[in-house]
């Protein structure tokens, strides 16, 4: 069993809490994606598992063993970096063998396992080349090969695709998913790219400013973000967030009054937002807005972006905030500067408090 458990882990650099009270359990065989903006503490968290950073508070465990005081080489994890970190003077074969050589594996077994891994990753034709004679994608494959060659307890991958071009990134991320699935090795995969996270992770742990925001399966994270940070970070672009106040109307209906108009709430949402005048943030994804004459919100078209199958219409509201409306390419496109009304799909509304926490729907009793 090689689960990885962070228990109330904190790491400081001077006054900065790079990782702040992190508790997170990565299951045996799981591919967990650590997602968040640059500087949120992803690399620091990963390096503490690898033993490259000292843990200030709390414990990190690999399998059943707390590893806070275990030397990096005795942790039996393999790290893959954005920068590949290959030995330039060694051939691909020797690079692949390197972790085995360090562990005193005999020459013949070393060579056999290096060839096996090369075959798995389509690297056989390049065994005799040096890293400088490979493309970026091939180099990253060698780096992956070097991680898997000694069958470690866990893979730790830190933005391994960042240096690849877009097409190769898409292909390599599918390869990594397939490889991880086949090997069943516990993996922590760090990225700031939410598309990578959504497509790769069994679960995604979202961090911001050193703190864990939410951990959930990709679809659940997208459908039920636990706070407005997660809501806005996931999706491209993220969820629209519109400030407003609860308005309980005389007829008994509940609406969110925004600078651009009143959005009527339905069922569960209405029961959550029952405090008249309470300030709230209304969240709605671009695919749940529609340009429509009867729409609740009033805006002006700032920009129309054609993406092929879809069009993104960026509108400015009365308070100068912006919302993105996603529509199919075959729908009528509004003109720049045109005043429009925007309809909100009532069932797709999320509500957050001013400080960003989700207002929980009351479950029907």
Ligand X SMILES: Nc1ncnc2c1ncn2[C@@H]1O[C@H](COP(=O)(O)OP(=O)(O)O)[C@@H](O)[C@H]1O
Rounded to 10°, the helix 136-148/107-120 angle is 130
Smallest gap from Cβ 40 to ligand X, in A, equals: 4
Smallest gap from Cβ 81 to Mg ion, in A, equals: 10
Smallest gap from Cβ 141 to ligand X, in A, equals: 23
- 286, 292, 296, 299 alpha-carbon torsion, rounded to 10°: 70
Residue whose C-alpha is closest to residue 343's, from 241, 222, 261? 261
Give the pair of three-digit tokens for residue 56: 């200030």
Chain positions 38 to 77 lying near ligand X, rule: CB under 6 A, are 38-44
Assign residue 159 a region: left if phi > 0, alpha if psi is -120 to 50, beta otherwise? left
Residue from 3, 7, 10, 16 binding ligand X (CB under 6 A): 16
Chain positions 259 to 318 lying near ligand X, rule: CB under 6 A, are none
Residue with tokens 């790769």: 200
Nearer to ligand X, 96 or 197 (CB): 197
Residue whose C-alpha is closest to residue 80's, from 28, 149, 17, 18? 149
- Size of site (CB under 6 A) for ligand X: 11
Smallest gap from Cβ 37 to ligand X, in A, equals: 7
- Cα first-last separation, the chain: 40
Nearer to Mg ion, 43 or 227 (CB): 43
By the rule CB under 6 A, 152 interacts with ligand X: no
Smallest gap from Cβ 301 to ligand X, in A, equals: 36
Residue from 2, 18, 86, 281 binding ligand X (CB under 6 A): 18
By the rule CB under 6 A, 254 interacts with ligand X: no
Among ligand X, Mg ion, none, what does residue 120 contact (CB within 5–8 Å per kind)?
none
Smallest gap from Cβ 44 to Mg ion, in A, equals: 8
Residue whose C-alpha is closest to residue 119's, from 152, 148, 86? 148
Nearer to Mg ion, 207 or 280 (CB): 207
Among ligand X, Mg ion, none, what does residue 39 contact (CB within 5–8 Å per kind)?
ligand X
Smallest gap from Cβ 160 to ligand X, in A, equals: 13
Give the pair of three-digit tokens for residue 18: 């790079």
Residue whose C-alpha is closest to residue 282's, from 316, 310, 259? 259
Stretch that binds ligand X, among 10-18, 89-97, 138-146, 147-155 (CB under 6 A): 10-18
Smallest gap from Cβ 16 to ligand X, in A, equals: 5
Nearer to ligand X, 38 or 219 (CB): 38
By the rule CB under 6 A, 13 interacts with ligand X: yes
CB 89, CB 133: distance < 8 Å: no
Among ligand X, Mg ion, none, what does residue 16 contact (CB within 5–8 Å per kind)?
ligand X
Smallest gap from Cβ 231 to ligand X, in A, equals: 20
Nearer to ligand X, 81 or 98 (CB): 81
Stretch that binds Mg ion, among 41-49, 165-173, 263-271, 272-280 (CB under 5 A): 41-49
Among ligand X, Mg ion, none, what does residue 41 contact (CB within 5–8 Å per kind)?
ligand X
What angle is formed at CA 139 by the lines to CA 137 and CA 141, rounded to 5 degrees?
70
Distance CA 206, CA 283 (A): 18
Nearer to ligand X, 48 or 117 (CB): 48
Among Mg ion, ligand X, none, what does residue 87 contact (CB within 5–8 Å per kind)?
none
Contact positions vs Mg ion (CB under 5 A)? 43
Contact positions vs ligand X (CB under 6 A)? 13, 16, 18, 36, 38-44
């Amino acid at each position: 069993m090689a689960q990885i458990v962070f228990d109330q882990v904190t790491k400081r650099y001077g006054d900065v809490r790079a990782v702040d009270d992190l508790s997170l359990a990565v299951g045996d065989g799981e591919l967990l994606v650590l997602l968040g903006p640059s500087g949120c503490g992803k690399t620091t968290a990963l390096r503490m598992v690898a033993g490259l950073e000292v843990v200030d508070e709390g414990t990190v465990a690999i399998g059943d063993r707390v590893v806070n005081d275990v030397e990096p080489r005795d942790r039996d994890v393999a790290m893959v970096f954005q920068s590949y970190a290959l030995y330039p003077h060694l051939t691909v074969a020797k690079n692949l063998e390197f972790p085995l050589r360090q562990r005193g594996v005999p020459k013949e077994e070393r060579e056999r396992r290096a060839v096996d891994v090369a075959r798995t990753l389509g690297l056989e034709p390049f065994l005799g080349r040096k890293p400088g004679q490979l493309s970026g994608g091939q180099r990253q494959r060698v780096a992956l090969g070097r991680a898997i060659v000694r069958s470690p307890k866990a893979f730790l991958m830190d933005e391994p695709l960042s240096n690849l071009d877009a097409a190769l990134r898409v292909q390599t991320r599918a390869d990594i998913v397939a490889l991880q699935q086949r090997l069943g090795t516990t993996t922590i995969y760090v990225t700031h790219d939410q598309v990578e996270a959504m497509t790769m992770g069994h679960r995604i742990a979202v961090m911001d400013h050193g703190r864990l925001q939410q951990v959930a399966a990709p679809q659940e994270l997208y459908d039920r973000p636990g706070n407005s940070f997660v809501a806005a970070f996931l999706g491209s672009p993220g969820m629209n967030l519109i400030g407003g106040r609860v308005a309980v109307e005389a007829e008994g209906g509940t609406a969110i009054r925004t600078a651009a108009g009143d959005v009527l709430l339905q069922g569960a949402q209405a029961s959550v937002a029952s405090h008249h005048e309470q300030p709230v943030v209304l969240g709605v994804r671009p695919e749940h807005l529609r340009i429509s004459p009867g729409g609740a919100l009033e805006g002006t078209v700032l920009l129309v972006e054609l993406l092929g199958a879809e069009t993104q219409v960026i509108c400015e509201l009365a308070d100068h905030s912006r919302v993105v409306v996603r529509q199919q390419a075959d729908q009528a496109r509004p003109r720049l500067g045109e005043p429009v009304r925007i309809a909100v799909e009532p069932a797709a509304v999320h509500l957050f408090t001013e400080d960003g926490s989700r207002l929980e729907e009351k479950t029907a009793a």
